[in-house]
Structure 1
Amino acid sequence: MVSGITGTLDATAVAALTGWVRAEGLGSEITDVVPLTGGSQNVVVRLSVDGRRLVLRRPPPHPRPNSDRTMQREIAVLRTLAGSAVPHPVLVAACEDHDVLGVVFYLMEEVDGFNPGNEIAPAYLADPLMRHHVGVNYAADVARLGQAPWQGSPLEDWKRPGSFLERQVPQWRTTMAAYRAQDGYAHDSLPGVDELCDWLQAHQPAEYVSGIVHGDIHLNNTMLRRDSPEVAAFVDWEMCTIGDPLLDLGWMLVCWPVAPDPLGSAGHLAELGGLAERTELLEAYCAAGGRRTEHLDWYLALACLKLGVVIEGTWVRYLAGLASREAGERLHASAVTLMGLGSAVAAGDNPFR
């Protein structure tokens, strides 16, 4: 199985994987096994199959109850996007047979790029135009994702019945209720969350056009090309669904690392400066075919609510003894900031313009 210490594959798992690779006709030998992530998150391992560089993605060493479903969702996404203009990892093969590794997993081609939350390619250090243009191109690719065909695709099976928009606020109210049931969690830990929920329900757009929604679109979930200002691949598709792509637009703008930056999540790229402004991202999104909307403030406020409630979960896990105090306090502070920004949007004082 996967080692819980290193986040890589032990000898038994490599042997089982090798047997599966051979049965699938992918090759005969696995070498160069290197962990990319591990621990409580999904495990990502770089390896070579007969010299071909691939990446394996599987649930953590101690899978959560929905871990297999998460992998199946990601597999459906990559199958749906195959051949599209949306930058994504290329799926090589997937396995749902628990006799191999005990979990659902898949192999994809290695993405030639870098994650700007972890490193910066030299070309971006040297040229501010690279840093500026990559944001414009990034926004255009977010628009292309929302337009990608999904009807009749594997991802269509993940579309829930009913209105995507009508589900949003009740879902996050329910999550907040669960948080408030945790010992030590103050009822007003997220100031303004109930009022923001009320405003969102009162101002919900009447209709929307269904499309693919990444669900967590920001630079830390993006690989950039090293020598050109382009997206190499969007990654981490575990929250992807069929819904209203304008939520991705709002999420992208909220998370963009120029002031106000509620997450501070793009590391050195943001510190270098020269990034496109949010108005430029919006223009690029629309120019690439993304839907224009008179309800942009609503999607910005919803993104603030949803992201804030999601990351508040780490503070709740700290209170339950399941996360570190440092991570809990840091993300709680960001969640409080997001509630404030969302409340400002709802009050007509949009800080993202």
Structure 2
Amino acid sequence: MIDVERLAAWLDESGLPGKGEPVEHHYISGGAQNEIYEIRRGELHCALRIPPATAPAARDEGILREWRITEALNGTDVPHTEAVAVCTDTAVLGRTFYLMEFVDGWSPMGTDGWPAPFDEDLTARRGLSYQLAEGIALLSRVDWRAKGLGDLGRPDGFHERQVDRWSRYLDRIKGRELPGFDVAAAWLRAHRPLDYVTGLMHGDYQFANVMYRHGAPARLAAIVDWEMGTVGDPKLDLAWMLRGWPEDTDAPEAATTLYVDLTGMPSRDQLVQHYAEVSGRQVDDMDYYDVLAQWKLAVVLEQGFQRAGDNEKLQAFGPLVLQLMRGAAELAETTRYGT
């Protein structure tokens, strides 16, 4: 729990609205990475994001990274939570934390199925996917240099580093063979995108990390959870978003392919084209990004599987990793891109 008295004193010193009034706080969610609280004080209504007391010290640096991106998005057309204030003085709440706008909306992860009218109106539901693609298309257009994010990542050599970085990562956690790993890795080393236009990227872009406004038509309220945000190649965000997207969204399996029901959603090609129109980027080399996204995700999930123990959720990563790696290798062997 947060120390409300210390928080109130810091809010007063920061000159935020509601000085002298009681602080109302409500725990929203949290895990090993961060906790989120709803804060109300007079006219102030925001969300407080802070690492739990047990999180490694490096999470404070991660919080600052998130804050920098959130603050940089102020004044842009990217749907986001407005940055309010940041505190690096750990004497206040024990950890670095920041305040952001409290968004009146809903998360696909916080509902049991799509809420009305998206549960029955398939035309309205399609808009959820188009808005999802549009979010990162707008993000890719942000002038990250002008926003002071020139030192956020290492954009030079971004693609050259991917295979080496994640291969070393797998070597550290490896507990079994992953068929297809070498095939996909060799293909990625031998191929590069048609072009590489550096931009701001989310790093884990999917339905789980966005919020929507209530009601139709579908309107993206905010992209959230910027732990993996960096400056790199934004088209990897698009491939990440589309991994596992069913070929036929009218087929029965569309309801169970991912963690949300994709029945009636636009096709993968339609979403790629929408991204291209909004972002202004060419998308003729998406096979490269699809291989990279599946291959990278397989390695990331393998870590969870290797430390699963009795955790059934992490155990379930085992066959998924093999499926992803096999899919990456098969795509690498069959694509005509780069031939």
How does the TM-score come out when normalised to structure 2?
0.89
CA separation of 1:164/1:53 partners in 2, compared to 1, >3 Å: closer, same or farther? Answer: same
**C-alpha displacement of 1:241:** 0.4
CA separation of 1:99/1:292 partners in 2, compared to 1, >3 Å: closer, same or farther? Answer: same
Aligned to 1:210: 198
CA separation of 1:121/1:206 partners in 2, compared to 1, >3 Å: closer, same or farther? Answer: closer
CA separation of 1:62/1:264 partners in 2, compared to 1, >3 Å: closer, same or farther? Answer: farther
CA distance in 1, matches of 2:38, 2:236: 32
CA separation of 1:303/1:107 partners in 2, compared to 1, >3 Å: closer, same or farther? Answer: same
Of the three residues 121, 124, 134, the one matched with 2:118 is 124
CA distance in 2, matches of 1:206, 1:282: 16
Aligned to 1:335: 321
Aligned to 2:13: 23
Aligned to 1:167: 161
CA separation of 1:65/1:316 partners in 2, compared to 1, >3 Å: closer, same or farther? Answer: farther
The answer as to whether partners of 2:35 and 2:50 remain within 8 angstroms in 1 is yes
**C-alpha displacement of 1:316:** 2.3
CA distance in 2, matches of 1:110, 1:71: 17
CA distance in 2, matches of 1:30, 1:336: 53
The SS at the match of 1:55 is strand
Say whether 1:291 aligns with 2:281: yes
Structure 2, unmatched stretches of 5+, are: none
The answer as to whether partners of 1:217 and 1:251 remain within 8 angstroms in 2 is yes
The answer as to whether partners of 1:43 and 1:59 remain within 8 angstroms in 2 is yes
Of the three residues 43, 48, 56, the one matched with 1:56 is 48
CA distance in 2, matches of 1:144, 1:51: 30
**C-alpha displacement of 1:334:** 2.2
**C-alpha displacement of 1:99:** 1.2
The answer as to whether partners of 1:218 and 1:256 remain within 8 angstroms in 2 is no
CA distance in 2, matches of 1:318, 1:239: 22
What letter matches 2:71 in structure 1? R
What letter matches 1:203 in structure 2? H
CA separation of 1:258/1:147 partners in 2, compared to 1, >3 Å: closer, same or farther? Answer: same
The answer as to whether partners of 2:33 and 2:55 remain within 8 angstroms in 1 is no
The answer as to whether partners of 1:257 and 1:266 remain within 8 angstroms in 2 is no
CA separation of 1:266/1:118 partners in 2, compared to 1, >3 Å: closer, same or farther? Answer: farther
Say whether 1:141 aligns with 2:135: yes
Aligned to 1:99: 91
Aligned to 1:306: 296
CA separation of 1:225/1:326 partners in 2, compared to 1, >3 Å: closer, same or farther? Answer: same
1:277-313 Cα offsets, whole Å, 9 max, x none, are 1111011111113411332111011011122211222
1:298-332 Cα offsets, whole Å, 9 max, x none, are 1011011122211222112225xxxx521221123
**C-alpha displacement of 1:231:** 0.9
Structure 1 segment 1-353 matched on structure 2, within 5 A:
2=1, 9=2, 13-26=3-16, 27-28=18-19, 29-119=21-111, 120-160=114-154, 162-180=156-174, 185-186=175-176, 188=177, 190-205=178-193, 207-227=195-215, 228-254=217-243, 256=245, 264-267=257-260, 269-270=261-262, 273-319=263-309, 324-348=310-334
Q: CA RMSD in A?
A: 2.1
**C-alpha displacement of 1:51:** 4.9
The answer as to whether partners of 2:209 and 2:225 remain within 8 angstroms in 1 is yes
CA distance in 2, matches of 1:257, 1:115: 22
The SS at the match of 2:136 is helix
CA separation of 1:292/1:138 partners in 2, compared to 1, >3 Å: closer, same or farther? Answer: same
**C-alpha displacement of 1:265:** 4.5
CA separation of 1:280/1:30 partners in 2, compared to 1, >3 Å: closer, same or farther? Answer: farther
1:185-238 Cα offsets, whole Å, 9 max, x none, are 22x0x3222221111111123751110011100000011122121211111111
The SS at the match of 2:150 is helix
What letter matches 1:233 in structure 2? A
How does the TM-score come out when normalised to structure 1?
0.86
What letter matches 1:251 in structure 2? W
Moved more, 55-64 or 216-225: 55-64
Sequence identity (%): 34
CA distance in 2, matches of 1:51, 1:209: 42
Structure 1, unmatched stretches of 5+, are: 3-8
The answer as to whether partners of 1:315 and 1:331 remain within 8 angstroms in 2 is yes
Moved more, 297-306 or 52-61: 52-61
**C-alpha displacement of 1:121:** 2.6
